[in-house]
Amino acid sequence: MQFAPHTDDDIRGMLEACGLASVDELYADVPAAVRLERDLSIPQGLSEMELVAEMRRLAGRNRNLDDVVSIAGGGAYDHYDPSVGWALAGRSEIYTSYTPYQPELSQGVLQALFEYQSMICELTGLDVSNASLYDGPTALVEAVNMARSATRRDRVLVSQGLDRRYLHTLESYGRGSGYRIDTAPLSGGVTSVAEVGEDIAALVVQHPSFWGNLEPISELFDSAHRAGARAIHVFDPLSLGVLRPPADVGADIAVAEGQVLGNHLNYGGPYLGVIAARSQDVRRMPGRIVGETTDVEGRPGYVLTLQAREQHIRREKAASNICTNQTLMAVAATVYMSWLGPDGLAEVGSQCLAKATYAAERLGSLSCAELVWPDADCFKEFAVRPGRAPRDVQRGLFEAGFLVGPIADAESLLVAVTERRTREEIDRFVKAFEEAAS
């Protein structure tokens, strides 16, 4: 493969125009000692046909969700993404463009992002959304930094119901930023906080939690507010057709993994970091934000705005270092949310809830399985304790055609049921579970 269009004549002519005799002379400023005087040890290039064959070989060594039925969750879900989503987000005028630094040439992406921000505000009830972050866990890191800057406090209280990948990401970044993380324990599967300390910058609660449970979120956030802390809600965008939105339950900042909004599973990325907040924190928001304005003729148009927060202006004092984000995933999410509309969103939520509840009841009635939190309410996910090691059960189920997980702890695994699953699939899954777990 080679995409450079130069003919030999072009190269000769261009070198001549530059007053050079050879391509090597282009690198005359490179000291001899640092030149690579050998070929890279990488195979020679491939024709497109050979490359496709190689990629098919690699892809063929994986079993994918067209081969097995996914009952898996833990932050990535097999929801249905309609054809229209990527047919539109996949338009090459959009996907081959860079960040909209020249707004007159980028109204398409800018308007799509403005609509994305609008829809995230509609979903969450909050005042402001940015144009995307990398993924759910890194969005949480940014939210915590916002809370620290707002409260000038350096401790974060994190519910034990938070997905550990979020916690681990928070810990990694904390090595540089120097915040301290405390955890609020679970009791009966939900977070219990007697009192939030006066030195806490933020209380972080995932609702529905990693375990799938609905949290007493309003009460938790009330205690955060009493202590002057920011309330950070890690939410599931597809739950918001049926569950109370972050603004209603008292969240100041809401973050989410936006993969569920019409994005492919892609073995973990690219996903979509969603963040929204109240207007009190608008100047603490990280990353790109699109605003509406007018042009010199008074016509409406869109630009990147509030750039004084950002790294290219504020440099070492910037609210965040983010530059490249996940715009394309936000565009796909915008198409998907528009496809659903209010009724589709509510229907997806209702189906997830009903199907997960059905699966939980069926699994809970097996003698070889036990629901970990039988009294908790769930949305689309719950934890189950099989009679055998979770890893073996997961493997056995995979062989039987079902992906379940992740492994939640030494004894249990998560089960997630989306609108995509049918009753017949759930029944077959329960049967296979019985065989794998006993």
Partner 1 sequence: MSGVGAPVRTTGPPVPATLREVSRRGRRAWSLPEMDVPPVEVPHEHRREGRVGLPEVSERDLVRHFTRLAQINFGIDTGFYPLGSCSMKYNPKVAETVAALPGFQRLHPHQPEETVQGALEMLWRLERALCEITGMHRATLQPPAGASGELTGLLIMRAFHEKQGSPRAKVLIPDSAHGTNPASVTLAGYRAVQVPSDSRGLVDLGRLEKVVDDDVAGLMLTNPNTLGLFEEEIQAVAAAMHRVGALLYYDGANLNAVLGRVRPGDMGFDIVHMNTHKTFATPHGGGGPGAGPVGVTERLEPFLPAPVVGFDPEGQRYFWDSDRPDSIGRVHGFGGNFGVLVRAYAYVFGHGRDGLREVGERAVLNANYLATRVKDAYPLAYPGRPMHEFVATAKRFRSHGVRAMDIAKRLIDLGFHPPTVYFPLVVEEALMVEPTETESMETLDAFAEALLQVAREAETDPEPLHEAPTTTPVRRLDEAKAARELKLHW
Nearest to 387 by CA among 416, 367, 409, 410: 367
Q: Name the residue nearer to partner 1 (CB basis): 228 or 244.
A: 244
Query: In this structure, what token pair is assigned to residue 426?
Result: 């759930």
- Residues 192-231 contacting partner 1, CB under 8 A: 214, 218
Nearest distance, CB of residue 220 and partner 1, angstroms: 13
H or E element in which residue 427 lies: helix 423-437
202 and 162 in contact (C-beta within 8 Å)? Answer: no
Q: Which amino acid is at 62?
A: N
In the set 21, 185, 197, 321, which binds partner 1 (CB under 8 A)?
321
Q: Name the residue nearer to partner 1 (CB basis): 198 or 392.
A: 392
- Between CA 305 and CA 302 the distance in angstroms is 9
Q: Which residues pair with 402 in a beta bridge?
A: 69
325 and 288 in contact (C-beta within 8 Å)? Answer: yes
152 binds partner 1 (CB under 8 A): no
Nearest distance, CB of residue 138 and ligand PLP, angstroms: 12
Q: Name the residue nearer to ligand PLP (CB basis): 280 or 324.
A: 324
391 and 410 in contact (C-beta within 8 Å)? Answer: no
139 and 133 in contact (C-beta within 8 Å)? Answer: yes
In this chain, which stretch among 188-196, 197-205, 281-289, 367-375 interacts with partner 1, using CB under 8 A?
281-289
64 binds ligand PLP (CB under 6 A): no
In the set 64, 177, 293, 324, which binds ligand PLP (CB under 6 A)?
324
Nearest distance, CB of residue 323 and ligand PLP, angstroms: 3
Please choose which of ligand PLP, partner 1, none residue 5 contacts, taking the beta carbon within 5 to 8 angstroms, the exact cut-off set by kind: partner 1
In the set 199, 222, 347, 370, which binds partner 1 (CB under 8 A)?
347
Nearest distance, CB of residue 123 and ligand PLP, angstroms: 27
375 binds partner 1 (CB under 8 A): no
Nearest distance, CB of residue 239 and partner 1, angstroms: 9
419 and 438 in contact (C-beta within 8 Å)? Answer: no
65 binds ligand PLP (CB under 6 A): no
404 and 413 in contact (C-beta within 8 Å)? Answer: yes
Nearest to 199 by CA among 166, 142, 157, 252: 157
106 binds partner 1 (CB under 8 A): yes
Q: How far apart are the first and last CA of the chain?
A: 53
| List of residues contacting ligand PLP (CB under 6 A) | 323-324
